Structure 1
Amino acid sequence: MDESPNCAICNGPATPECPCESDRLQIAVKQAEDRAMQARLQEIRDWVVSHARQHILNAFERLSSARKQSTAQYLGSLPYYSVYVQYSGRPPIHPMHLAPLQAQISEAHADLKRGIDADWRSSVLRYPEVLDYFYSLVELRLPSPTSPRVMEPPFATAGYADAGYGHVRVKKEKKKRRERSEREGSAAPPDYAREHMYTVAGRMRGPPPVPTPPIQPGYPTPPPNAYYNHGY
């Protein structure tokens, strides 16, 4: 006789080809993870993204600041540049000197823009590395296998007293028997009901009155109401 339980889902034979329990287990695990971890995962995600974004912005700021400083130094070294800035791009210098200066300034600004774009791109492309680093700082600790909370969870502390299907079935059977007994009692004939009431009343109030014992030979027959005359 095969004592292996049938599949809990389809009630078919528990064979490796039956995927019901495995599939339902995966669904149950996913649902349990969502209930237990969703809020924590969101908190961890927000923390990691916040720190990673701030690091990327800080790194880009350092790169772009250094590039802007280098460009400013280059422009300051150009002839007539200070006069150009003083007169807001309309310096009183000969056009022969103004044209090359304007071309150098324009090229320097273009180089600065290309450099800033490159710095931003290189900073953003580091997100995977930066995210991995900050995620690695998050500590996920599993409880010890010998922890009382692991060894004796609430459902084990009760001795695995299952109040599931069997408990419900027994309660339903008791309820059915009680209802059937009540229906049969309410449908009983009047004489049976009175007899039943009398019996219950007799058990509650004591035995029924015992008849007067017969008179033994040799004793005179007492007159009527003799017992009442003596206070009985």
Structure 2
Amino acid sequence: MDAAPNCAICNAPAYSECSCESERLQIAVHQAEQRAMEARLAEIRDWVIAHARMHILGAFERLKTTRKQAHSAYLASLPYYTVYMQYSGHPPIHPMAIAQLQAQIGEAHAELKRGIDADWRASVLRYPEVLDYFYSLVEVRMPSDRSPRVREPPFAVAGYADRGYDHSRLEKEMKKRKQRREREGSVGLREDQVYSAVGRHLRGPPPVPTPPVGGGYPPPPGRYNY
């Protein structure tokens, strides 16, 4: 006799090419992950994004500050720049010198804008690296396989795991009933009744009889039979 069970989903033979159980397992795993991890993953994601964004913005601000300082130092080094700013762009100097200075200032401003854009682009492109780093700081701890919570989960201790044909469970049930009767002082059920009751519980409810097919019931009184 082959003791291998049939598919629990479609009842196909054990050695068939049925994939029902593996497919249902994948669905169950996905659903369990959502129930157990969805809120936790959202919390981790928010923490990682907040710290990554803060780092990227901080790094960009430092780059921008350094670039603006260099920009200011360059402008201050230009001839007539101090006088130009002192007279709000209308210094008492030769118009050709003013035109040359204005061209240099305009080019410096354009270079500053290009540099700030390049710094921002470089900062944003570092997001994958920065996200990986902050995700690596999150610790996921697995319990030990020797932990009592792993070896004896509550549903197994309660008898969820292996009901089947476990006669020891039947003996325990009888003992519990007997102790309950002794405490309550009632007559209770006989041992054979206990075996019968517990056996029915283990096997499940009795099958429902199938009604006869094709009018098998006797005709009601007062009717004619044809």
- TM superposition score normalised by structure 1: 0.70
Q: Does 1:34 align with 2:67?
A: no
Alignment of 1:55-204 (within 5 A): 55-159=55-159, 160=161, 162=163, 167=201, 170=204, 172-173=205-206
Counterpart CA distance in 2 for 1:3 and 1:144 is 33
Query: How many angstroms does 1:91 deviate by?
Result: 2.4
SS of the residue aligned with 2:206? Answer: helix
Tell me what 2:22 maps to: 22
Counterpart CA distance in 1 for 2:80 and 2:37 is 65
Structure 2 portions without partners, runs of 5+: 165-199, 209-226
My pick for the range that moved more, 107-116 or 91-100, is 91-100
**AA partner of residue 131 (structure 2):** L
Tell me what 2:174 maps to: none
Query: How many angstroms does 1:90 deviate by?
Result: 2.5
Counterpart CA distance in 1 for 2:79 and 2:28 is 75
Query: How many angstroms does 1:158 deviate by?
Result: 2.1
Counterpart CA distance in 1 for 2:58 and 2:99 is 38
SS of the residue aligned with 2:140? Answer: coil
SS of the residue aligned with 2:142? Answer: coil
My pick for the range that moved more, 21-30 or 84-93, is 84-93
Query: How many angstroms does 1:89 deviate by?
Result: 2.1
Query: How many angstroms does 1:18 deviate by?
Result: 1.1
SS of the residue aligned with 1:173? Answer: coil
Counterpart CA distance in 1 for 2:122 and 2:163 is 60
Counterpart CA distance in 1 for 2:90 and 2:15 is 90
Counterpart CA distance in 2 for 1:20 and 1:40 is 30
Counterpart CA distance in 2 for 1:84 and 1:154 is 83
Counterpart CA distance in 2 for 1:173 and 1:68 is 86
Change (3 A) 1:84 1:12: same
**AA partner of residue 23 (structure 2):** D
8 Å contact kept, 2:163–2:202? no
How many residue pairs get aligned? The number is 173
Aligned-residue CA RMSD (Å): 2.2
Counterpart CA distance in 2 for 1:167 and 1:79 is 101
Counterpart CA distance in 1 for 2:109 and 2:203 is 84
Counterpart CA distance in 1 for 2:71 and 2:123 is 20
Tell me what 1:181 maps to: none
Tell me what 1:179 maps to: none
Query: How many angstroms does 1:16 deviate by?
Result: 5.7
My pick for the range that moved more, 101-110 or 1-10, is 1-10
**AA partner of residue 71 (structure 2):** T
Counting aligned pairs with the same residue, the percent is: 72
- TM superposition score normalised by structure 2: 0.71
For residues 49-73 of structure 1, what are the alpha-carbon distances to aligned partners after superposition, in whole Å with 9 as ceiling and x for unaligned?
0000000000000111000000100
Counterpart CA distance in 1 for 2:202 and 2:84 is 93
Structure whose alpha-carbon radius of gyration is higher = 1
